[in-house]
Homo-oligomer: A and B are copies of this chain.
Amino acid sequence: MIRVNPHYSKIQANYLFAEVAQRVKNYLAAHPGADLIRLGIGDVTHALPAVCVEAMVRAAREQGSDETFHGYGPYYGYEFLREAIAKTDFQARGCDISAEEIFVSDGAKCDVGNFQEIFDTDIRVAVPDPVYPVYVDTNVMAGRTGAHVGGNYEGLTYLVGNEANGFVPPVPAEPVDLVYLCFPNNPTGAVATREQLQAWVDWARANGALILFDAAYELFIQDPAIPHSIYEIPGAKEVAVEFRSFSKTAGFTGTRCGYAVVPNECRAYDASGAAVPLQPLWKRRQSTKFNGVSYPVQAAAAAVYTPEGQAQCRALIAGYLANARIVLEHLNAKGYKTFGGANSPYVWFNAGMESWGFFDRLLNEAQVVTTPGCGFGNAGAGFIRITAFNSRENVERAMERLDKIL
């Protein structure tokens, strides 16, 4: 008898975005034709950089001729892309990362979700709270947790972010083997300083732990003192894997490309306690369960690294950050305590009341859709996330409405 994975039944249906959608639907049913402004979802709204489009068109045309056709590509990505990534995203910032340590994928979500497969089932896992749900759910599916009780899964360590620590949690006091960190953070927009990241790297080295560092929002960092990569921290290559994405930096949410960095030195341990390099395990996982990224998509991603591509991405980011600044100014003027928004497309703020109640108020009184912080975990209760992913005009209109009702 074919039995299902018993751990799937532990997963809580994530009602967050479904519930947001339902409340929006109900509102529209009661107020047909209402002029809603959506600042809730973390999807970009602006087109791909023109240089990426041209590269994709050229590559698509190459697929149309036997002479220039690309069949199966390399499992870990074309050299032209891996080289460009290593040089621009790492070596140019002083990080000693080479092309062979770059693993191109169809997105950071897939990598972040799949990476835990190469570890033993009974390792101890820590996740941030509030948290991007993929870190949690993929470990529940893999059988690394107990039941869901009081909003948390038994057996997981929650690294609580709050106003006191600026949503950058300290290293855990209890023993943990694998830690997920995300800076600039989704959903709080928080960034970690060099000293804070050094503390995490030192802790991982001292405890035989590993850090999965989600840097999908890296290009939003404007403050020159904030590290863009965990590999700017001495000692990180042995204890950290980094995930990057073209989704938010170059508008690839629907075009799909990202990458993982698995340094040659990065290690884990076997049952006897002997160190084993992690990279061969990830290669094995990817070559067995994945077959590389579409050639035209990789060509588009490589165009990000041309001078025009870099300029076009920075212009995209600058537009979203200008939106975030407008949101911050209006909320701060009304006395709300805000986080993020300066080096991140996300503004996170203390609503001064229960999240869903505030969400409903913004929807009903201002026709503005946001995301209730409580949907990201217990530590998000009482907060609201506003995203900068919309046009300038819509963000300004939304803030004028908020000015009137708050």
User: Which residue numbers of A lie inside 8 Å of B, CB to CB?
Assistant: 1-6, 8-9, 11, 43-48, 50, 52-53, 56-57, 60-61, 63-66, 69-73, 106-107, 109-110, 113-114, 117-123, 134, 137-138, 141, 177-178, 207-210, 251, 253-256, 268-271, 273, 276, 278, 281, 284-285, 288-297, 300, 391
Contact = CB atoms under 8 A, between A and B. Distances in A.
Given A1-B209, A3-B122, A57-B57, 19 more contacts: A3-B268, A43-B72, A45-B71, A47-B66, A52-B63, A53-B61, A60-B60, A63-B254, A63-B255, A69-B251, A69-B254, A71-B253, A106-B291, A109-B290, A110-B289, A138-B289, A141-B285, A255-B296, A296-B297
B66 A46 contact: yes
State the copy count for this chain: 2
A63 B69 contact: no
A69 B47 contact: yes
Given A4-B119, A276-B4, A65 B47 contact: yes
Contacts of A285: 141
6 contacts: A4-B269, A53-B63, A53-B64, A71-B254, A134-B288, A254-B294
Contacts of A118: 4-5, 8
A297 B297 contact: yes
A122 B2 CA distance: 10
A268 B9 CA distance: 13
9 A-B pairs with the lowest CB-CB distances in the bound complex, closest first:
A53-B64, A1-B208, A113-B289, A3-B120, A43-B71, A70-B254, A56-B60, A2-B210, A71-B253
